[in-house]
Structure 1
C-alpha cells in the first residue's frame, strides 16, 4: 500500500489520542475518487479496536467514533468503527467500507489492516452493484435539484466503479483511472474533473439532455455487467474473518 504523503498528512498525534487502538485510517471521499478541490475536506475513515470488556457487559459499546477539526483552513474528519462492526459491514453489499479498507491513501496501518485487506476479495458479490446503482441514483437526483458539478461527478464515479467491479472483481474508486479505462465513459468527463479541481461547489456547465442520456446508458451498462458478472451471489470468507476478529480482539 502507498501512503498519503502527497496530502501532507501526519496524523500520528491524532491516532495516538484516540481512546482505543486504531487498526487503520485511510483517506476517502473526493481525494480517493480523484477529483478533490483546493478547499475539499479531508475524509479519513478506518477501524478501531474496543477492549473485550467493552463488549461483554451491560453497557452498549461505542462502536462508531467521529472527530472533526480544522488544519490550515481545511476541515478534517476522522470516523472509525469498531472492527467487529466494520467486518459486519464488509459482509454486506457495502461498497463504502471496501473502498475505505482498500484505499491506497493510507495514513495509518497495522498487520490487522493488511489481513483484512487480503480477505476483502472474498466478500465481493454481484449484489454490490445495487450499492453503486443506489448511490448513483441518490447523487443524480441531487444534481437534478441543484445543478452542481459535485453530485454529477459522484454519479459517474459510482456507476463506473460498479461496472468495473462487476467486470473485474476489483474495487477501483479513482474516477480519472476509470474514465481512462472504460469505453463507456463520456469524453467530457476529464473536463468536468478538471473543473472540479478549481472549486468545491458550483454549477456544472453541461448539456443536461446529453448528460442524462449518458447516465442512463451507464445504468444499462451496470445492469449488463451485473448480469454477466462472475462474482458470487453471497459473500465468502465468513470463517476467516471471524477467526481474524477473535484473534485481534483477544490479543488486544
Structure 2
C-alpha cells in the first residue's frame, strides 16, 4: 500500500478543540481505490479535559469538521477516547480499521498503546459487523441505475476484510492486499475503473447476475469463516483499556 501522506498544514489539526491522540486516513484511500476527486476521510480520537467528564454536562464526545483545505476536501471525525474505547469493545470493525490504519496523520504514545491493545478487542462476532455492512452496501449497489463502481467495491472490500479477519485475526482494509490472497480476477479491473474515473463512476455493462452470485458466495464464505473461527467470543481488553483511560484522564489534569 502506498503511504500517501499530505502536508500537515492541509489538515489544520492544530485547530482541533481538544488534544488529539491520533488521526488516520480512512475511506477509499485506506481501502486502496481512491478516485482523483475522492475526499480525505480523517478519523481519530481526542481527550476531553477532566472537568468535562466528571460534571453533569458532558463534553463534546464527537467532533466533526469538514471543508476545503489547500484545495483538498477533508472530512474529520474524532471521538473522545472513552467513547472510542467503548466502540472498540462492541465488535465494531470500523473503529479497528481506523485505529490500525497505516495512513497516519497524527500519532502519540497513547495511540501506540491502543494499537498494541487492539488484538485483545477482536472477537469472532466482528463477523456480524462485516455481514451487516456488506448487506447495506449491496442494497445501495442494487438501487442505482446505472450501477456505480464505488458501492460494488465496498461490498467486496467489506466481505474480504471480514473473511480475512475471521481466518487470521488480522485487520486488513486494503482491497488490493486482500485480493493477493483472494485472487478474484475481476477486482483489479473494478479498481482501475474507480481510480482512473470519478467518485461517481458507473459500470457501463455491469453483469448484475454474476455479481449477485459472487456476493452470495462470499457472504456464505464469511458466515462459514465465522462459524469456524478460533477467535474468542468476548474481548479481553476491558481492564487494560480502563487503566489506560484513567492514566490519560489523570495526566490531563496535572
TM-score bracket relative to the smaller structure:
over 0.9
**What CA distance in whole angstroms lies between the structure 2 residues aligned with 1:209 and 1:63?**
44
**What CA distance in whole angstroms lies between the structure 2 residues aligned with 1:160 and 1:132?**
9
- Post-superposition Cα deviations, 1:130-164, rounded to whole Å, max 9, x if no partner, equal 00000000000000001111100000000000000
Give the conservation status (yes or no) of the 8 Å contact 2:11–2:69: no
Matched, 1:116 2:114: yes
Give the conservation status (yes or no) of the 8 Å contact 2:29–2:40: yes
**What CA distance in whole angstroms lies between the structure 2 residues aligned with 1:125 and 1:92?**
9
Match for residue 38 of structure 1? Answer: 36
Cα-Cα RMSD: 1.5
**What CA distance in whole angstroms lies between the structure 2 residues aligned with 1:104 and 1:178?**
15
Match for residue 6 of structure 2? Answer: 8
Give the conservation status (yes or no) of the 8 Å contact 2:30–2:174: yes
Flag structure 2 segments of 5+ consecutive residues without an equivalent: none
What are the residue-to-residue correspondences of 1:92-111 with 2, within 5 Å? 92-111=90-109
- Post-superposition Cα deviations, 1:109-131, rounded to whole Å, max 9, x if no partner, equal 00000000100000100000000
- Post-superposition Cα deviations, 1:174-204, rounded to whole Å, max 9, x if no partner, equal 0011111125xx3111100010002211222
Give the conservation status (yes or no) of the 8 Å contact 1:40–1:74: no
After TM superposition, which residue ranges in structure 1, 4 or more long, deviate above 3 angstroms? none
Give the conservation status (yes or no) of the 8 Å contact 2:20–2:47: yes
Identify the range of structure 1 (225-234 vs 10-19) with the bigger mean alpha-carbon deviation.
Answer: 10-19
Question: Equivalent of 2:19, from 18, 21, 37?
Answer: 21
Identify the range of structure 1 (197-206 vs 187-196) with the bigger mean alpha-carbon deviation.
Answer: 197-206
Distance 1:152 1:13, change over 3 A: closer
Match for residue 202 of structure 1? Answer: 201
Please, what TM-score do these two structures have when normalized by structure 2? Answer: 0.94
Match for residue 235 of structure 1? Answer: 235
Identify the range of structure 1 (99-108 vs 15-24) with the bigger mean alpha-carbon deviation.
Answer: 15-24
Match for residue 191 of structure 1? Answer: 189
